[in-house]
């Protein structure tokens, strides 16, 4: 009887969440992982998904959750987070519409390895793991794409681990500034970070504190390496910033 009540409550909550997404928004068009799937297969997947709208900062899955669904982001964006030993938050990735996550738990049925939260108003489609595993068997092209993504993820995480373990807090901030920057379109040799994130966000990416970020950027400004322009950060001496990173 208790199990029946719990099942009914879960079903009711899922249906209530499901109703927040309009029928015309329940489409998996544009999902990168499904590009190899025939249109008929995609339409079938849409019917098997639970559609949920998430508000900014709302948690989607938490680390060590036992859920095994795969999530497709059809609108908005999410942040993937982990935590250091002292509960310090560290950002692993930001995923936008067209991306997916949760594939590892769907494949090996293990607990979630990270927390995922919505950055903005987002619509996600949750596909049960059994349907996802069947998809990989029926569409080998999707399985190959997933293997390539896992390979890229491993390479990226290797670089992140190296930076966190061998660089000083200020150097980790420099690393993130270089990662976020791009050449100035004016072609004057400077690099730009358009809409510089808040210090808290940079600290999350670099595994440092907000104070470390403020001190590192302040040092670069005093040395004439960077400067502010409205909401952007201008890297005036890209080569010198790279040298500071490699000291």
- Distances in Å between the Cα of 241 and the Cα atoms of 28, 184, 236 are 42, 16, 9
Domains and CATH numbers, the chain: 2-165 (2.60.120.10), 167-245 (1.10.10.10)
Place of tokens 């002292």: 86
Give the single-character DSSP code of 123.
E
| Separation CA 48–CA 129 (nearest Å) | 11
Residue 52: closest CA among 76, 82, 79, 80:
76
pTM of this prediction?
0.69
Q: Which residues pair with 59 in a beta bridge?
A: 117
Convert the pLDDT of each residue in 20-69 to its tens digit.
889 899 999 999 999 989 999 999 999 999 999 999 999 999 999 999 99
Summary count for the chain: helices (H), strands (E) = 9, 12
Other C-beta atoms closer than 10 Å to the C-beta of 62 total 14
Classify 81 in phi/psi space as left (phi over 0), alpha (psi -120 to 50) or beta.
Answer: beta
Residue 108: pLDDT band (50, 70, 90) is very high
Ranges of H-type helices in 57-102 = none
Instruction: Report the pLDDT value the prediction gives residue 19, as an integer from 0 to 100.
Output: 45
Convert the pLDDT of each residue in 129-176 to its tens digit.
999 999 999 999 999 999 998 998 888 777 777 777 788 999 999 999
């Amino acid at each position: 009887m208790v199990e029946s009540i719990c099942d009914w409550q879960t079903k009711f909550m899922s249906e209530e969440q499901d109703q927040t997404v309009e029928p015309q928004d329940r489409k998996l068009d544009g999902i990168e992982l499904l590009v190899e799937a025939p249109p008929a297969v995609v339409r079938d997947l849409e019917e098997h998904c639970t559609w949920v709208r998430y508000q900014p900062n709302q948690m989607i899955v938490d680390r060590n959750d036992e859920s095994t669904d795969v999530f497709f982001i059809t609108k908005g964006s999410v942040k993937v987070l982990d935590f250091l030993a002292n509960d310090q938050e560290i950002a692993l990735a930001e995923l936008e519409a067209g991306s997916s996550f949760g594939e590892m738990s769907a494949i090996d049925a293990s607990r979630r390895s990270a927390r995922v939260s919505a950055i903005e108003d987002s619509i996600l489609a949750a596909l049960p793991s059994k349907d996802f595993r069947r998809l990989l068997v029926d569409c080998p092209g999707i399985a190959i794409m997933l293997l390539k993504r896992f390979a890229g993820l491993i390479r990226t995480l290797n670089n992140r681990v190296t930076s966190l373990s061998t660089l000083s807090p200020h150097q980790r901030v420099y690393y993130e500034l270089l990662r976020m920057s791009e050449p100035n379109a004016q072609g004057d040799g400077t690099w730009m970070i358009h809409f510089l994130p808040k210090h808290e966000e940079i600290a999350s990416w670099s595994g440092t504190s907000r104070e470390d970020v403020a001190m590192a950027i302040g040092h670069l400004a005093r040395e004439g390496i960077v400067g502010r322009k409205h909401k952007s950060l201008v890297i005036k001496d890209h080569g010198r910033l790279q040298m500071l990173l490699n000291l």
